[in-house]
Structures are given as C-alpha cells and as structure tokens.
Amino acid sequence: MKGKAAGFILAFCVTLFAFADVPVRKEEFIYSILAFNGRDYSGTFAREEADTIYLIAGVDNFLTAKKTFVYFWPITGEWRTDTQGLDQEMSGTLEVYSDKEQPVKLTPEKYTYYNVRGVYELNWNVAKGKEADKVRSHYEDLVDEYWKAISEYYNKRAEYESRLDKITGEITERRKRGEDVTSLLEELKTMKPPARPQPPEEYTVPPVPVKSGFIINLPVGEYRIRFLTPDGFIMQGSEKKIVVFEKRREGGIGYEIIPGDKWTRPSESKTPHSVLYVDGTTDLYLRPFYQDEFNDLYYEKMRRNDSRGNPNLMKWVRMQQVPEARIEMSPMDGNITTVTEEPFYVEQVQGASLGYRIVPFDAEGKHEGREPSIRAFHIPIERERGVLKISLFDREGKQILSGKRQIRVIPGAGFKTGLFLLAFVPLLVMGVVLFFRRKRYSD
Amino acid sequence: MNLRIHAARVIARRKTLETVLNPGFYIAQTAGLLLGYILITGFTGAIDSSGFSFELNPVYDFVGRAMVGAFGRTFVDKLFSEGPFLLALYISFLPSFFYLSINSVFRFSFEKKVGAIELISYGPADGTSCFLASYVKDILLTLLTIAILFIYFAVAAFNNNIVLGSRFLYSVPLILFTSSALYAYGILAAVATDNAVSAISLYMGIVIFFLIILMGTFSIVSGYVSTLSGVFTRIAGWLSPLFYWNLSLTGVESGKAGFFITGIVILSVLTGIVLFASHLIVGVKGVRK
Amino acid sequence: MIKTRGLVKKYGSFTAVDGVDLNIPTGEIYGLLGPNGAGKTSTIMMLLGIVKPTRGDIFLFGEPYNPKRLDLRKRIGVVPENHPHGMWSWMTAYEYLEMFAELFEVKDKERRIEKLLSQVRLSEVINKKIGEFSRGMLQKLSFVRALLHDPDILFLDEPISGLDPLGIKQIRDLILEENREGRTIFISSHLLSEMEKICHRVAIISRGRLMAEDRMESLLNNLSRERKILIDLESIPSELPDEVKRLSYVLDCRGDGNTLVITVPREGDYRKGLSEFLIKKNLIPLSIKEQMVSLEEAFVTITKENVEMLAAMGESR
Ligand SMILES: Nc1ncnc2c1ncn2[C@@H]1O[C@H](COP(=O)(O)OP(=O)(O)O)[C@@H](O)[C@H]1O
Ligand SMILES: [Mg+2]
C-alpha cells in the first residue's frame, strides 16, 4: 500500500518535472456513461483501454460516444477527462450483441430523468424522445411560473414595505400633531406581508436538461458492443464487453450512525450480525435506510469504471431512508422504549475545544427560521457497560427483521493484564506436565 | 482393516502423549493466545464514540491498510463487523496448526527414514496405520487447540462486552474440517517423498499454492498474483480445502446453511480421498527407507 | 514353517538376492550366514512382507504368503538389524513395551513385560528412559519386544553384532532358551564362529546366491577337505612335530602346549596309525580327539574364490 503510494508520488513528481504541471493527455474515444446505481445516476466513462462496462439490469442507462482528452490523475489514482480541451460527441450507431439474440442497433435518443417527491425517496422516472421534451418543458414552465411568482412577490413586498413606511411615518406625524391615529393603527394591524411563493415541490430531482444518447436497458448477462460511424466503419477502441448484473438481495436495513460528538464522521452498520461497539462517551443518532446487495467489483466498476473491487464479495449499498419508522430499544434491564425520528440541530461548541453538539431542533425558539441539520433517532448511551438491542418497525408498524442491531459499550479499562497473563497458562501447564513426567522417569 | 485401525489407535495415543510432552506444543499455544490478545486489545483500542475504525490502533492500522489495499474495503468491513474474534480465531490458530502439521510431516518422514515405521510394520500394522495415527493425533490436538482458543476468546468476549459472533461460531467446526484436509495433504507429502526436507518443502508448496488461490479469490489488485491465482484456480481450485472453507463461510454470511454443510461434507470427502491416495502410495512405495 | 522357492530381489539392475530356496523347519534354530552385503537382510525383509520380492514364492505357516495378511504378523517376532529407538527415546522401557504389547493385543501385558524384562535382567530399568539405554540394553529390549506376543517364529537380523562378549553370551543364552521352549528361530549373521555354537541348520549366502544349505554337522563334514586330530601328551619333544609331518598322510603338524595338532585329509581314519607311531616313540597318548572343522573355516572354503568377501569378513571381526 505504502509502496504503491510512494510509487505514485514518485511517478507524479517525474511527471511534474517532465511536463511542468501538465499531466499527459491523450485524445481518446470514450463512452461517457450515466449509469443508474440503484439510488441515483452517476457518471463515469470507459476509456479506450477499458474492456468492460458494468450496468445494472432492467434500468435505463445512458451512453454517449465521444472524443475527448483523457489523463491520469496520480493524486487520487484515477483517470479523468478534460472536456474543456475537447468534447466532441460522435454521431453513429451502437451495436449490442448477445450470445442468444440478434444484434440490436441503437441510435441516439433524447432523454431526461427525474425523481418525483413521495413518501419514499426513490421515485425515478425516465422520459425519452418527445416525452423528454415535454417533461422538461413542464418543469421549465413550473420554474418560469415560480420566477414569475417570485418577481410578483418582490413587487408586492416592496409595495407592502413602502405602505408600511408610509403608515408608520404618518402615525408619528399625526401623533406629533396630536391627532387621532386609530384608523391607521387598525390598518397597521390588518396589514399582512405577502406570502413568499414556494419553489416547485413536485420533484426531489427535477428533470435534467434533455440530452441525447444511447439508452441501454438490458437483462442480466454479458454483451458486446461496438460503435459504428455514419459511414459504417467500426470505431477503433469502441468494442467492449458489457456486464449487466442485478442485486443479489434487497430490502436489507442499514444504519447510518452519527456519534453526538462527531457528526461529520458517521459510520454505517450493514447487517443484523454486525455489532456496533462504542466507547460510551456520547449518545448516538441513527438513520435507518433500505439497502440492496451487489457484487463488490461490479458495483464499484459501474460507479467508476477504473476503480477496483472484489469480484468474490457482495456488499450492501445504501438506497433510501426508511420513512416514518419507529425504533424500539431494549436495554439489559428489559424496559423497552420507543424512539421516533426527530429533527436535530448541530451547534458549534464555543470555547477552546472546537466541536459540535447535536441538540433537539427548536423550531419556535432559538432555531427559528432555520432548517434542522439532521432528522434521526436519538439513542442515549449509558456509560456503564451494557448491551442495547434495537429493532426497527416500518410505517405500517411491522417489524423489519434485518433492522435488528446490538449496540455494546465496551469497558474502558477492561481486563487487559488478566487476559495477557491468561495467554501464558499453556506454559504453566507445560511446567506441571514436564515436572510430573520427570518424576515418573526417576522412580 | 480392524488390525490396522487398532494399530492406528495404539500409536495415535503415543504420538499424542509425545506431542503433549513436548514444549513446542505449549509454546505454539501461548504464541496463538498472545496473537489473539494483541488482536482483541487492539480492537477495543480502536473503538471510539462512533464505533470501530482500524485507523485508531497502530496494529490494526497496519493490518487494516494492508488488507484494504489487497482485498478492498468491503472485505475488511465484513471481517470486523461482528468483532475481532473471527480474524483472531484464524490468526491464533496458525501457530498450532503449523506446529502440528509441519511436525507431523517431518516426523513421518523421519520415522520412515530411520525405520520406525518399518519396525511397527513387522507387527500387525502397516504404513497406513502409522499415518492414520499421525492424522488422529493432529485432529485430537486440533480439537484441544480450538477448545483452548474458544475458552480464551469467550473470557475475552465476556470481559470486554464483545460478542464472539456467528461467523466465529460457524468457523469453529469449519476450522477443524479445513485443517483436517490440510493435515491429510501433509501426510500425502510425507508419504510421497523420500526425506524430511523434500516432504516439508512439498507440503509448504501445497499450502502456499492453496493460499495463493485463496488470496487471488479476494484480491482486488490485478497483477501477477491474481493472474497466477486465476490460472491455479481453474486448474486445481477444487483440490484446495481453503476453497471449500470459503464456500462454507460465504454460505454462512449469505444465510445459506446448505452451503455451509456442503462445504463441510466436501472437506470430509476431500480428506478421505487424500488419505486414501496416501494409502495407495504407501502400498506401492513401502515403508522401508 | 517357512519355505521359499526361487526368491529373487533386484534393486534396479543390481540383484541382491538371486534365486534363494530356504526351508526352515519348525522348532529349529536356522542360520542364514554370509558376509555383509550378501543379501541376508533383503531375504528377511521379503519373508516379512516389508520388501516385495522381484520373483519367487514364499510359504509362511504352510500358506502362500500375502503381505496384506496383518494377522499372520502376530505370529512373528522380529529383532531387526537397526533399532530406531531414537524415535521413542522419551518413553520408559515399560511404556515402549506396553505400546507393542497393545499393538499385538497381548493379554495380561503387565505381567508379561515384567517377566520378560526380568529374564533379560532389565527389571531394574523398567522406568528408565530408553534414550539412556546402552546398546546391549537396547538389544535386549528389542528381544523382549519381539517376544512379547509369544511368536511362533523369531527373526533375528545380526543379533549379536556390536555387542561385547558378555552381551553376546546373554543373547546366545536367550536364543537357546527360547528354542528349548520350542520356538523356531531364524538368525542372520556374518559372525560365523558364534553361529556354529547355536544353529541347527544353516544356509550360506554370498552375493545373493545360496552356496549351501544343510544341517550343521553334515555341512561341516561335507565341506571340509581336511580334518584336525588333537592328541594330548604328557610333554612334546621339540623335534616331534617335524617327525610327524614326515608321515605320508599328515599334511601339517604343530604343538600347542601339551596338545599335538595334526592335520590330515578328510577321508580315512588315521587315529590308529598315529597312536602306533607315538607309542613307538615312547610317547603315550592321553587322549585322541578328532576336531570338527569350524563353520568359519568351512565358509572360507566355500567362498574362497571371493577375495573381496574375505576382506569383508576380516573387517567385521
Ligand atoms: N533399498 C536398496 N536399494 C538398493 N540396493 C540395496 C537396497 N537394500 C540393499 N541393497 C543392496 O543389496 C545388497 C544386499 O543387502 P542386504 O540384504 O542388506 O545384505 P546383508 O543384510 O546380507 O548385509 C547390498 O549390496 C546392498 O547394498
Ligand atoms: Mg543385513
């Protein structure tokens, strides 16, 4: 690991020295990939040397054929594109071969994708062709309307404020003159500021600007693709394998665990077997989410084509929050308590020890006008050693079995010396055995 | 057959006693427990308010980085998801395992060379009785080792409020069956060669071969080892006990008890086949010289 | 009890045993004699089923021999040429013998071990580590081990080589005693002088070939071309040996204390003529004995042509 890092650094320095700050760029044919990863769309690209593209089965993924500059960025150890220098989309057709079926010829299609707001987070839709334009223009209309409403709002607001100034000015003046101000006060009381218009709430992710690309939606399997230029030539470096895979299991429950003192460093707990060990110094804030299980290598490569993964391991991938859930905690004393999701606010701790503190969100009080930092389940941790069992219930009140967890507080000091000495018991036994053995020889 | 088994029992008792009277066995046990101690205390030392993160302990940081580099983050996360005992079990088992298996390979070769096996074969026994005795001894002492480790870890777990973990518990029988097949390979190496040095070289060669296959299975580093491993796996992956060990453990992880049982059954069959092959080789090569 | 027909053992192209026919009768002490490298151990190993014969048949206890018959091995006791005791040096003598007693499923093993150990006068060291045993003690321990299960036949491969005279005598007594109890004993040795004192029947092997096989006396008689006559006198005048030599049938003569040692041809009885010659000289023979030719001398006769072998014998003495 370290050797490799050192190697990279050395290679990097040499590169710096030789090319004075400019990494080697090569013009290459690439597939720019927008792959649906189960949660959202993530972009990556397959450079000429890459032989395989990884995609999830049964979802729309978007490929574009491009010429661009590609270079290796040694600091992060990844390949990047330089689209500033060159970003030329290629027109042509994409041929997809499989062992079983006839090759399919694809031509670029217009598309957009968007996520609609709902109880669950993931409500992804893809619109293609004319529909894409329609969806996008609907959204643009909404945005236009919103902007219109906003400018109207500002006009009204200005009107309101000038009227307010006027009234208050008149009141002071009339008072000075000793006149009656009742009618003006009446007006002041009934005056209301104009309501600020809400941005369109239909989407959590609004439709992206309509683009054009090859839409690939394949069942599980292995395929080969190649790109043909309009005059029918096979593009050099365009022949690749596509591995289409699916999740092995779904609907697992993972927890994001936020310690009270380090809210920037959450960790995740993936399976009911996994135990959460803590030192008991702060409370925990849990955020349960649904997760799906994928092949480690396939998933990593789908997200970033030049990354590495383990082909023989499966891993759980976070998908979306469990909405309107409920957690039951049973500590060792057996008194079950129910916890619900609450909003919290992260306050900066004043003074010498910089840090954060998570406090309940006080909408009417000191946090008025702000948004809560997190919504989570607050799990108080007792300092004395113990086991806390957690079960999760969904919005219908049904228990989700894979949401079970154990939280264990490890004792600070423990029994280290004893454990250390215990390791020498075999030697003690050896002494005894050999002593008796020697006695046996002598008599 | 009966006489052969009887002889194996008689000799196994002596071999067990002999090992138990040897300081090496106890030193290996203590070495294993100390490794366990380091891993357990390292684990508890790497826990803070947000849970376990290996960067917090120097030992774990070193091991963890190396493993992330070689096998990826997912592998390491899974390894420690229940606590330190899964890794500790395998690591702590190694000193005793290598002590027992190398000792057996060496002893068997040496006994063959000096004529001890021949002497026993003048009686109602043969080379097979002798290697079976050696195998039985290894199994008995492996059981003892596992029991010692189990007790030690149970104490440590109780004391630090850590769970042993389901994969640890499944590993307890699994480690026995896996090492059993490896002991059988040790016997094969000893009967197939004519002196102790080549027997141990062959045995270590076999073990390293299996390890490369296994490492390759988990490796995320594309390169020499994984290419080699890929070739090895295709040719001889099915010969490796570690292959079935992995099958079983993967079964446990994905909640498929069937895979676990299948792995154990195959490991037993593999042990039987390797022992039978050794039996045939002893029959052909004889026990003299 | 044991018979072999045309037994051959080749190690690669080298023939260690070359067509050996043995016939070992029940209840006898049978000696397989020959110099080092003659093929004795190879022969025994084939009889024990440890080494596979290249050719030939073996009949053990009247049956064609099958080395897989482990049960037959319970009727055999073996004291091998080399003792790998080092392997068990951590055991006490008792533990060592107990292991073999269990292997052979000996009944009442404790009593049996104690009895045999006292027979070879090793009772004292029953709880001593065998790693601390002397070579003679180990040899005796090996005997005890071979006898634990009361075998029908005892194979002894070079049982006395490397032992001091006292050790040799103890082992010889043990062999004779075991034989008196009716046990068949098969001994291989290159130390011929010792064997002629105990063997009833011998086979002489050289370079893998059986040179002779017969009862002891007839072997000696048949094979010697000359004989010695020993005559005790009151005193021997100095010129007497030379005078005797001049007799036509006397091949050699010398004085040995008060005994006149006269070598004569194998055939014919010269005792009468010799005593008449002495009486004529006024010397009175106190006794006249004919000396049997020693096995060693017979052996030399048989294999005289082999100079290398003689050298080997000289070395081993
Ligand atoms: N395993 C073997 N491989 C090759 N040659 C052997 C082997 N065992 C014995 N020999 C050779 O066979 C000959 C007879 O050996 P052996 O039977 O031990 O003789 P003896 O017991 O009469 O001294 C010797 O020349 C010896 O070197
Ligand atoms: Mg010999």
Encode pLDDT of A133-176 as tens digits. 999 999 999 999 999 999 999 999 999 999 889 888 888 888 88
Distance of alpha carbon C201 from alpha carbon C6, whole angstroms: 19
* Whether A215 contacts A60, CB under 8 Å: yes
C38 ligand 1 Cβ < 6 A: yes
From the alpha carbon of C208, which atom of ligand 1 is closest? Answer: 14
pLDDT value at position C272?
A: 84
Q: Which of B80, B51, B85, B50 is nearest to B68 (CA)?
A: B80
- Which helix (H) or strand (E) element contains residue B29? helix B23-45
Q: What is the pLDDT of residues A333-355, one digit of tens each?
A: 778 899 999 999 988 877 666 67
Residue C103: what residue type?
L
Q: Which residues of B touch A315 (CB under 8 A)?
A: 74, 77-78
For chain B, helix (H) and strand (E) counts, in that order, are 12, 2
From the alpha carbon of C157, which atom of ligand 1 is closest? Answer: 21
Q: What is the pLDDT of residues B258-272, one digit of tens each?
A: 889 999 999 999 999
Give the ligand whose atoms come closest to the C-alpha of residue C39. Answer: 1
Distance of alpha carbon B60 from alpha carbon B42, whole angstroms: 6
* Mutation choice for C interface testing from B2, B14, B113 by most C CBs within 10 A: B14
Distances B205 to A128, B178, B197 between C-alpha atoms, Å = 59, 17, 12
**What number of residues does chain B have?**
289
Least confidently predicted of A61-75, B82-96, B169-183, C262-276: C262-276
C16 ligand 1 Cβ < 6 A: yes
Instruction: Identify the closest residue of chain C to B14 by CA–CA distance.
Output: C99
Which of C11, C54, C82, C303 best tests ligand 1's pocket when mutated (most atoms within 8 Å of CB)? Answer: C11
C36 ligand 1 Cβ < 6 A: yes
Does pLDDT of C305 surpass 50?
no
Distance of alpha carbon A285 from alpha carbon A86, whole angstroms: 47
Query: Residue holding tokens 């900066």?
Result: A348
**Can you list the pairs that A347-352 forms with residues at least 24 positions away whose Cβ atoms lie under 8 Å?**
none
pLDDT value at position A13?
A: 47
pLDDT value at position A183?
A: 82
Q: Whose CA is nearest to atom 25 of ligand 1?
A: C37
Averaged over B54-83, what is the pLDDT?
Answer: 89
Q: What is the pLDDT of residues C24-34, one digit of tens each?
A: 889 999 999 88
Distance of alpha carbon A193 from alpha carbon A154, whole angstroms: 11
Name the range with the highest mean pLDDT among A38-42, B122-126, B131-135. B131-135
- Which helix (H) or strand (E) element contains residue C3? strand C2-11
Distance of alpha carbon B161 from alpha carbon A385, whole angstroms: 7
Please state the ipTM of this predicted complex. Answer: 0.91
* Whether C153 contacts C77, CB under 8 Å: yes
From the alpha carbon of C40, which atom of ligand 1 is closest? Answer: 22
CB-based contact (8 Å) between C13 and chain A? no
CB-based contact (8 Å) between B29 and chain A? yes
Q: Whose CA is nearest to atom 27 of ligand 1?
A: C37
Query: Residue holding tokens 């916890």?
Result: A339
Read off the tokens for A252: 């697992």
The residues pairing with A338 across neighbouring beta strands, listed in sequence order, are: A328
* Whether B4 contacts C70, CB under 8 Å: yes
Q: What residues contact C314, with CB distance under 8 A and at least 6 apart?
A: none
Averaged over A429-441, what is the pLDDT?
Answer: 91
The residues pairing with C210 across neighbouring beta strands, listed in sequence order, are: C205
pLDDT value at position A9?
A: 53
Q: Give the pLDDT band of residue A88 (cuts 50, 70, 90).
A: confident
Q: Which of C200, C6, B28 is nearest to A427 (CA)?
A: B28
Read off the tokens for C215: 């009862």
CB-based contact (8 Å) between B107 and chain A? no
Angle subtended at Cα C216 by Cα C212 and Cα C222, rounded to the nearest 5 degrees: 60
Find the radius of gyration of the CA atoms of chain A.
Answer: 32
From the alpha carbon of C44, which atom of ligand 1 is closest? Answer: 17
pTM of structure: 0.82
Portion of chain C with pLDDT greater than 90, in percent:
26
Least confidently predicted of A33-42, B208-217, C7-16, C89-98: B208-217
pLDDT value at position B222?
A: 63
- Which helix (H) or strand (E) element contains residue A358? strand A355-360
Q: What is the pLDDT of residues C175-189, one digit of tens each?
A: 898 899 889 999 998
Least confidently predicted of A128-132, A303-307, C69-73: C69-73
pLDDT value at position A87?
A: 85
Instruction: Identify the closest residue of chain C to B129 by CA–CA distance.
Output: C103
pLDDT value at position A16?
A: 47
**Can you list the pairs that C98-104 forms with residues at least 24 positions away whose Cβ atoms lie under 8 Å?**
C99/B10, C99/B11, C99/B14, C100/B123, C100/C145, C100/C148, C100/C149, C101/C148, C101/C149, C102/B10, C103/B6, C103/B7, C103/B10, C103/B11, C103/B120, C103/B123, C103/B124, C103/B125, C104/B123, C104/B124, C104/C74, C104/C148, C104/C149
Averaged over B152-170, what is the pLDDT?
Answer: 93
Q: What is the pLDDT of residues B11-68, one digit of tens each?
A: 999 999 999 999 999 999 999 999 999 999 999 999 988 888 888 889 899 989 998 8
Q: Give the pLDDT band of residue B185 (cuts 50, 70, 90).
A: very high
Residue B55: what residue type?
E
Q: Which residues of C touch A440 (CB under 8 A)?
A: 92, 127
Instruction: Flag if A440 and C127 touch (Cβ within 8 Å).
Output: yes
Compute, in angstroms, the gap from residue C166 CA to the centroid of ligand 2: 23
Q: Give the pLDDT band of residue A4 (cuts 50, 70, 90).
A: low
Q: What is the pLDDT of residues A218-259, one digit of tens each?
A: 999 999 999 999 998 999 889 999 999 999 988 899 999 998
- Which helix (H) or strand (E) element contains residue C87? none
Instruction: Identify the closest residue of chain A to B255 by CA–CA distance.
Output: A273
From the alpha carbon of C12, which atom of ligand 1 is closest? Answer: 4
Residues measured by CB to lie within 5 Å of ligand 2, the ion: C 41, 81
Distance of alpha carbon C42 from alpha carbon A437, whole angstroms: 40
* Whether C229 contacts C264, CB under 8 Å: yes
pLDDT value at position A86?
A: 84
* Whether A401 contacts A272, CB under 8 Å: yes
* Annotated domain spans of chain B: 2-285
pLDDT value at position B250?
A: 86
Read off the tokens for B161: 């409020």
pLDDT value at position B244?
A: 92
Give the ligand whose atoms come closest to the C-alpha of residue C208. Answer: 1
Chain B residues with at least one Cβ partner in C under 8 Å: 3-4, 6-7, 10-11, 14, 18, 21, 110-111, 114-116, 118-126, 286-288
Distance of CA A332 to the CA centre of its chain: 34
Alpha-carbon dihedral angle through residues A249, A251, A252, A258, given to the nearest 10 degrees = 140
Query: Residue holding tokens 């060792």?
Result: A332
Does pLDDT of B75 surpass 90?
no
Distance of alpha carbon B210 from alpha carbon B207, whole angstroms: 5
Burial (CB count <10 Å: 0-12, 13-18, 19+), residue C60 = buried
pLDDT value at position A243?
A: 94
pLDDT value at position C79?
A: 93
Across the A/B interface, how many CB contacts are shorter than 8 Å? 154
Query: Residue holding tokens 């040397």?
Result: A49
* Whether C127 contacts C157, CB under 8 Å: no
**Average pLDDT score over chain B:** 91
Distances A180 to A168, A173, A191, C243 between C-alpha atoms, Å = 14, 11, 19, 186
B29-55 b/e (C-beta count within 10 Å ≥ 16 → b):
bbbbbebbbbbbbbbbbbbbbbbbbbe
Distance of alpha carbon C2 from alpha carbon C186, whole angstroms: 10
Pairing of strands A386-393, A355-360: unpaired
Q: What is the pLDDT of residues A398-424, one digit of tens each?
A: 999 999 999 999 887 657 889 999 999
Does pLDDT of C3 surpass 50?
yes
Q: Which of residues 71-130 of C touch A (CB under 8 A)?
A: 92, 127-129
pLDDT value at position A185?
A: 84
DSSP code, position A161 = H
A399-428 b/e (C-beta count within 10 Å ≥ 16 → b):
ebebbebbbbbbbeebbbeebeebbebbee
* Number of other residues whose CB lies within 10 A of the CB of residue A65: 23
Query: Residue holding tokens 């296994």?
Result: B214
